[in-house]
């Protein structure tokens, strides 16, 4: 076949894949926003039908044939086309190893598990969710074996979210964090500085919090014409296209900071997706490259910007406007200290910047243990509670605030968590690099962060999935070194807690 | 092929059709609820991809072959299967007459037109919408010619929404209404009774109105586990399955009755969809049979129940609870009179029960004229305004409150409107029939309308699309006679206006 025709077919394949991903993503988005609960079974039927085509597009004979022919002509392809073909081939090889019936069954399992988890969390009833979680773990282990029977299953899973990551690198990374952060956390606990955040736990009407979200999204430069915000139990970001990205949040009347930082976090994910290069728009490369890089962006905005002193000054101005009574007597120092209180807590997404990594480490250790077979799913709640006690010294009152708190496992994401900590570390190193050319603090203080975002767009966002995460990171920051992260945290919390 | 295998393939075909209808319907629902505006083009691309399969399932060779074989074995099929095969065959024959490229182009046109109409309505800018509307009319005329080149195009369109309807029947029906209602409307105008509804136009906080919606849905017996409510510019109902039906409303702070009656109206549509028989669930017959029958249900709940005296008494109790200050001094009589004020107005969906038919008649006449070629699309706003002046004696201040007010045309529904008036007339005749076995007023007054709903479920809802609308109606009410409707209106408004 002529190269021109092959490329046309490739474009068509990518357009179809994108369309089905949009349709199935939409059904998911609806399931956690507008859908009535009782529609889950019907949605499952719909997803099963669509999944057949999704499978065919990923792993069908036609796709394999087309990609083989394109690979033969590799030398004649543009860099973007070549990368796209390689990525599709990788997916083809992996997916065709999964029997179609198992693939469809898994999609239906996830659809059901999402609902079961939701109810289980509300009722703090791990037992009702356990059989689903066990199936999800087992399916992931089985699939990992299909992908690469020579590799440890958990390494295969880690690699799916962050190409090149494995338990060896994770163990090393977490041990470096542990070494630096555990003494720091202990020092913070013993500090006589005890900041107050009670003023953040008063009543903040939800309709006013929605106005705060609008302001935050404007501050971040999120184009509302292409980025909408919804409300869900657990905040997340879902991109359908660079012209249509959704973020969600959860408003708690008596915990204003919860949605505040969810919006900034998800907004960071959204910025990445909204600013991939137009050249990649209709290819399989038009989305963020890995979970680690994605989390580096979301946590950069959430913590480095959002929990930094200059932003807190701006934020206070807005809060005084929206909640004048609540902010009466609150100073910049008080707000900055309040949003940076470090103390053992139960909920990962509400954990402070310093103890956060411990929450991630715990999940990493538990996932790894279940996948490696040294822990059963039914033992998870107990093991979870024991580790929380061991690392943070607190008791888990119920599974809703323990093992059931995150949506990742019910969504089939096993091996995802380490990327959160890795992303935080990536972000700190990016900050150091950014500071070489931009006065970051002054820029934030001015209220115009566009030069910072432009830098990230140029170094990270626009590249979409053109490069593997490790080389992408190195091209902008040099070799990865978690010391940047531990130094950043040490500086920040030493000052905050007068250590 | 064996009958058993043919039936399995038929089931598979129906399941696939339903899944694609769910997915595309979901994308539409999202486009008017959560989606950012700038995502329209991408959504259009997705719909184009899905439409290919939708087209293939409706009009592909395989479908034709399967249905032909089943038709040959007609004598061996169950009544449900036989009806399903006939309906699918009808659709097959119609759809295959549309060239696939034109079909896909039309889906994309509608997707775009929805957005353009939305902006045009906000800016009262008919000109920006006119080119799209012209294309929609032309496409509908062209398609009608494909379906049946021997029939007048507008008759083909009417038949699509209400099988068996044509301009002859419509002309006769509307002339009967005109004869009885015009003098009645004139008498109402001259009556010295001038009820006041200013108390409904005060500020009613939207969050409280949402609580009213919850109460209304509970009163109607809508199962929230299977029926969710959303918020959109223009209220509508969309069923994905009998286990997943969505209604929408639009809250106006200073017009509480607007959402109140939208919710009851859409709730009537939803009841029909939620109570089709389980036997029809996974067939193409599991949804309401026609727009006329559908509107008979929605307008039955909205007007006959919702604007009746016994319901107004119940409603007042709830309103006093939700809006004590606004309801201070309001009596049952005042509320009943206020929600039944009859006077010339601009907006169809807010028109009173008596003048409503004129709004429908106007649209019928205009659609018919454009399709028949005696009126151009660019002349529509002028012709609209002239007719409003002629029938209702008022001036249309802008196209937003004139020709741009409804979403039907932008959605491609031409020939739909007459069903609204027909549905109202059907409903009045059903009421007469219902009263033979149930004390309708007493039942409503008791707050428990379940016997009324059970009657409708038995006579109408459960049958889904098993029977054509006219025989279905006749099986429950005998031959159609609009006198029931005009008598009902005469009785009601004679008493209200002391004529």
For the residues of A14-75, what is the DSSP string, one character each? HHHHHHHHHHHHHHHHHHHTT--GGGHHHHHHHHHHHHHHHHHHHH-HHHHHHHHHHHHTGG
- Give the CA distances from residue B216 to residues A169, A312, A431, B259, B318, in Å, rounded to whole numbers and listed in that order: 58, 45, 54, 11, 10
Residues of A within 8 A of B245 (CB-CB) are 36
Half-sphere exposure of A43 (CA within 13 A, CB side): 29
Within an 8 Å CB–CB cutoff, is residue A228 touching chain B? yes
Buried b (16+ CB within 10 A) or exposed e, B306-339: bbbbbbbbbbbeebeebbeebbeebeeebbbbbb
DSSP secondary structure code for residue A391 in this structure:
H
- Judged against a pLDDT cut of 90, whether residue B474 lies above it is answered with yes
Closest by CA position to B275, among listed B290, B286, B289, B264? B286
Query: Is A23 within 8 Å of B19 when comparing Cβ atoms?
Result: no
In sequence order, which residues have a C-beta less than 8 Å from that of residue A262 and are 6 or more positions away? Answer: A235, A249, A250, A349
Residues of A within 8 A of B42 (CB-CB) are 22, 240-241, 243-244
Using CA atoms, how far apart are residues A430 and A476, in angstroms rounded to an integer? 8
Q: Which residues, listed in sequence order, are joined to residue B237 by a DSSP beta bridge?
A: B247
Q: Judged by CB atoms within 8 Å, which residues 245-264 of A form the interface with B?
A: 245-246
Q: How far is CA B100 from the centre of its chain?
A: 28
Within an 8 Å CB–CB cutoff, is residue A108 touching chain B? no
Closest by CA position to A241, among listed A423, A59, A18? A18
Percentage, residues of chain B above pLDDT 90: 90
Query: Is B244 within 8 Å of A39 when comparing Cβ atoms?
Result: yes
What is the predicted pLDDT for the residue at A393? 82
What is the predicted pLDDT for the residue at B178? 86
- If one looks up domain A167-496 in CATH, what number appears? 1.10.1370.30
Catalytic sites of B, residue numbers: 266
Q: Is the dihedral of CA A373, A375, A380, A386 positive or negative?
A: negative
Residues of A within 8 A of B23 (CB-CB) are 23-24, 26-27, 46, 50
What is the predicted pLDDT for the residue at A390? 84
Which of B14, B56, B243, B267 should be substituted to probe chain A, the one whose Cβ sees the most A Cβ atoms within 10 Å?
Answer: B243
In sequence order, which residues have a C-beta less than 8 Å from that of residue B379 and are 6 or more positions away? Answer: none
Q: Which stretches of B79-205 are DSSP H helices?
A: 79-96, 100-123, 126-147, 153-161, 167-190
What is the predicted pLDDT for the residue at A337? 97
Which value, to the nearest 10 degrees, does the dihedral of the CA atoms of residues B442, B444, B445, B450 take? 90
- Residue ranges of chain B assigned to CATH 1.10.1370.30: 167-496
- ipTM score above 0.85: yes
Could you say which of A33, A46, A53 has the minimum Cβ distance to residue B34?
A33
Residues of A within 8 A of B34 (CB-CB) are 29, 33-34, 228, 230, 246
Query: Is B23 within 8 Å of A19 when comparing Cβ atoms?
Result: no
Half-sphere exposure of A224 (CA within 13 A, CB side): 10
Mean predicted confidence (pLDDT) in B390-418:
93
Confidence of residue B391 (pLDDT cuts 50, 70, 90): confident
Could you say which of B39, B207, B228 has the minimum Cβ distance to residue A244?
B39
Residues of A within 8 A of B273 (CB-CB) are none
Within an 8 Å CB–CB cutoff, is residue A15 touching chain B? yes
Using CA atoms, how far apart are residues A465 and A264, in angstroms rounded to an integer? 23
Residues of A within 8 A of B50 (CB-CB) are 19, 23
- Judged against a pLDDT cut of 90, whether residue B111 lies above it is answered with no
Neighbours of A205 (CB within 10 A): 14
Residues of A within 8 A of B278 (CB-CB) are none
Within an 8 Å CB–CB cutoff, is residue B27 touching chain A? yes
- Give the CA distances from residue A62 to residues A13, A491, B319, in Å, rounded to whole numbers and listed in that order: 10, 56, 63
- Nearest Cα of chain A lies from the Cα of B71 at a distance, in angstroms, of 26
Residue A42 sits at φ, ψ, to 5 deg, of -65, -40
For B196, counting Cβ atoms within 10 Å of its Cβ (0-12 exposed, 13-18 middle, 19+ buried), the class is exposed
What is the predicted pLDDT for the residue at A111? 85
What is the predicted pLDDT for the residue at A107? 84
Residues of B within 8 A of A226 (CB-CB) are 36, 38-39
Mean predicted confidence (pLDDT) in B251-262:
96
DSSP secondary structure code for residue A287 in this structure:
S
Within an 8 Å CB–CB cutoff, is residue B228 touching chain A? yes
- Give the CA distances from residue B210 to residues B87, B105, B247, B258, in Å, rounded to whole numbers and listed in that order: 39, 39, 13, 12
What is the predicted pLDDT for the residue at B392? 82
Confidence of residue B189 (pLDDT cuts 50, 70, 90): confident
- Judged against a pLDDT cut of 90, whether residue B152 lies above it is answered with yes
Could you say which of B45, B223, B240 has the minimum Cβ distance to residue A19?
B45
Query: Is A46 within 8 Å of B18 when comparing Cβ atoms?
Result: yes
Query: Is B230 within 8 Å of A41 when comparing Cβ atoms?
Result: no
- Give the CA distances from residue A320 to residues A174, A331, B253, in Å, rounded to whole numbers and listed in that order: 40, 10, 27
- Nearest Cα of chain A lies from the Cα of B312 at a distance, in angstroms, of 29
Which of A15, A18, A22 should be substituted to probe chain B, the one whose Cβ sees the most B Cβ atoms within 10 Å?
Answer: A22
Query: Is A19 within 8 Å of B49 when comparing Cβ atoms?
Result: yes
- Strand B237-241 with A237-241, pairing: unpaired
Confidence of residue B207 (pLDDT cuts 50, 70, 90): very high
What would the pLDDT profile of B277-318 be if each residue is shown by its tens digit?
999 999 999 999 999 999 999 999 999 999 999 999 999 999
Residues of chain A with pLDDT under 70: none
Using CA atoms, how far apart are residues A461 and B375, in angstroms rounded to an integer? 53
- Nearest Cα of chain B lies from the Cα of A317 at a distance, in angstroms, of 28
> pTM for this structure?
0.91
Could you say which of B39, B43, B243 has the minimum Cβ distance to residue A42?
B243
Could you say which of A18, A26, A244 has the minimum Cβ distance to residue B26?
A26
Is there a contact between A71 and A88 (Cβ–Cβ < 8 Å)? no
Closest-CA residue of B relative to A22 is B46
What is the predicted pLDDT for the residue at B344? 87
Mean pLDDT of the residues in chain B = 95
What would the pLDDT profile of A286-344 be if each residue is shown by its tens digit?
999 999 999 999 999 999 999 999 999 999 999 999 999 999 999 999 999 999 999 98
Within an 8 Å CB–CB cutoff, is residue A12 touching chain B? no
Query: Is B243 within 8 Å of A38 when comparing Cβ atoms?
Result: yes
């Amino acid at each position: 076949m002529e190269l021109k025709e092959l490329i046309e077919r490739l474009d068509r394949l990518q357009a179809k894949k994108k369309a089905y991903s949009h349709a199935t993503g939409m059904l998911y988005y609806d399931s956690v926003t507008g859908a009535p609960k009782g529609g889950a079974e019907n949605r499952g039927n719909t997803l099963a039908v669509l999944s057949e085509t999704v499978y065919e597009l990923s792993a069908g004979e036609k796709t394999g044939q087309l990609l083989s022919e394109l690979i033969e002509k590799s030398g004649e392809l543009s860099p973007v086309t070549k990368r796209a073909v390689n990525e599709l081939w990788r997916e083809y090889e992996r997916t065709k190893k999964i029997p179609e019936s198992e693939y469809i069954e898994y999609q239906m399992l996830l659809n059901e598990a999402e609902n079961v988890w939701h109810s289980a969390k509300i009722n703090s009833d791990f037992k009702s969710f356990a059989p689903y979680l066990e199936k999800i773990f087992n399916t992931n282990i089985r699939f990992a074996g299909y992908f690469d029977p020579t590799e440890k299953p958990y390494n295969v899973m880690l690699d799916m979210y962050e190409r090149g990551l494995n338990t060896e690198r994770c163990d090393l990374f977490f041990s470096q964090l542990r070494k630096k952060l555990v003494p720091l956390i202990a020092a913070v606990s013993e500090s006589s500085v005890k900041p107050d955040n009670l003023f953040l736990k008063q009543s903040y009407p939800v309709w006013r919090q929605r106005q705060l979200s609008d302001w935050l999204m404007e501050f971040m430069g999120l184009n509302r014409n292409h980025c909408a915000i919804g409300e869900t139990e657990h905040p997340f970001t879902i991109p359908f296209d660079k012209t249509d990205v959704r973020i969600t949040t959860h408003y708690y009347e008596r915990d204003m900071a919860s949605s505040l930082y969810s919006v900034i976090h998800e907004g960071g994910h959204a910025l990445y997706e909204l600013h991939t290069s137009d050249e990649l728009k209709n290819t399989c490369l038009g989305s963020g490259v890995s979970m680690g890089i994605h989390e580096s962006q979301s946590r950069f905005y959430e913590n480095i910007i959002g929990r930094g002193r200059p932003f807190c000054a701006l934020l206070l101005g807005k809060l005084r406007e929206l909640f004048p009574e609540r902010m009466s007597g609150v100073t910049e120092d008080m707000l900055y200290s309040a949003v940076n209180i470090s103390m053992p807590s139960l909920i990962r997404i509400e954990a402070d910047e310093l103890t956060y990594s411990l929450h991630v480490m715990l999940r990493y250790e538990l996932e790894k243990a279940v996948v490696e077979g040294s822990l059963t799913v039914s033992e998870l709640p107990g093991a979870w509670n024991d580790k929380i006690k061991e690392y943070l010294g607190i008791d888990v009152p119920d599974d809703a605030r323990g093992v059931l708190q995150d949506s990742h496992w019910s969504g089939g994401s096993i091996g995802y968590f380490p990327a959160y900590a890795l992303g935080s570390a990536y972000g700190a190193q990016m900050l150091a690099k950014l500071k070489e050319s931009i006065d970051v603090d002054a820029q934030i203080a001015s209220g115009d962060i566009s030069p910072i975002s432009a830098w990230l767009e140029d170094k990270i966002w626009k590249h979409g999935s053109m490069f593997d995460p490790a080389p992408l990171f190195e091209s902008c920051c040099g070799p990865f070194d978690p010391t940047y992260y531990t130094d950043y945290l040490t500086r920040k919390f030493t000052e905050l807690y007068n250590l």
